[in-house]
Amino acid sequence: MTTDITTGDIPTDTQTRQMTRAVLFHELGGPEVLTVEEIPLPAPGPGEVLLRVEAIGLNRAEALFRAGTYYYPATLPGSRLGYEAAGVVEAVGADVTAYAVGDPVMAAANFDFGVHGVYAERVVLPEEYLVRRPEGVDAVTAAASWLTYSTAYGGMVEAGGLRPGDPVVITGASSGVGTAAIQVALRIGAVPIATTRGEGKRQRLLDLGAARVITTESESVVKEVRRFTGDRGARLVFDAIGGPGFAELGNALEPGGTAVLYGWLDPRPATISLNWPLTVRGYANGAVVRDEEGRRRIAGFIGSGLRDGSLAPVIARTFEGLERITDAHRLMESDTHIGKIVVRV
């Protein structure tokens, strides 16, 4: 008996039990709760694609999810994990027309990763959760690209209306999304103003193209932004932190400016500046990439940027093998790195 799939080296006998190695966790906690286990691998059904994972990119959301502080809870025991991966199509289910066996692709990170988590050697995903890997882009680069650049482009350009010449304040600028946001701002001709806690990462952010770096431990963001912009203020704030400090960032905006909050590294309630008029927006990347037209626009922007070199993900470190996932999470939570952490599978 066979299923209606096109396959590479995956047997089509439904009585053959396929297995794959994947990262799971059975309780909430630190990196030590992550385990690598053999789990069943279903054949792709209608509209689904079997992806052989070559590299995964880590994101702060995954640490929050593992710890039980993300905006939706893990289903325990045996939760999956992981938004971002690059790999090759190994089999396709019925009705899949966009992809064929052998196509290099990236996970488009618009799914519940407790169910479809891509920390695995192989994973089955609905085809709408994939985009084509730009030609000539290797798996490690691709695994470090989609979520960071889609968040930066979606949050600053699509939601924030960033335009050429606009000063934009990018908080948490040494993160994967932060470094991507600097590059996205430069690519469209905006002026990135980066913030970071201490002096240790200042020069690296300047080297990446930040027009000004503000160290929040010793400098006032509002005073320095206004000094840099001739007291007018920035057109846009792109904030990863939230909390009570979000209100202060609004005071660095020009009249009618926009503050976009896309993260909550500070879990306390965010408050809003009274520096009116201003626009405040909460940005959820999934809302944009779930839309086919949104994915097309973002994939076009990222692909062309990777090809012409204006977008080049900053990779802090690459770990080899799923067994290093705990070490990779420990590095992510240390906040000592700049850019993305990648695990090559």
pLDDT tens for 276-323 read 999 999 998 877 777 888 888 999 999 999 999 999 999 999 999 999
- 28/31 Cα distance (integer angstroms): 9
Closest CA to 121 of 165, 77, 90: 90
CA dist 121 and 54 (Å) reads 7
Rounded to whole angstroms, the Cα distance separating 217 from 25 reads: 36
Give residue limits of the domains in the chain: 6-145+313-344, 149-286
The answer to whether residue 155 scores a pLDDT higher than 60 is: yes
Lookup result for tokens 């932060």: 178
CB 86 within 8 A of CB 106: yes
pLDDT above 50 for 14: no
On the question of a common fold for 6-145+313-344 and 149-286, the answer reads no
Q: Say what percent of the chain tops pLDDT 70.
A: 95
Please, what CATH class does the domain formed by 6-145+313-344 belong to? alpha beta
pLDDT tens digit string along 138-154?
999 999 999 999 999 99
Task: Write out pLDDT tens, residues 324-342.
Answer: 999 999 999 998 899 999 9
- And the tokens for 86? 């690059």
Sheet holding 253-261, edge to edge: 212-215, 191-196, 167-170, 234-239, 253-261, 279-282
The predicted-structure confidence for 39-51, as pLDDT tens digits, reads as follows 999 999 999 999 9
The tokens of 323 are what? 């067994």
Confidence of residue 17 (pLDDT cuts 50, 70, 90): low
Domain 149-286 adopts which CATH fold? Rossmann fold (3.40.50)
- The answer to whether the pTM exceeds 0.85 is yes
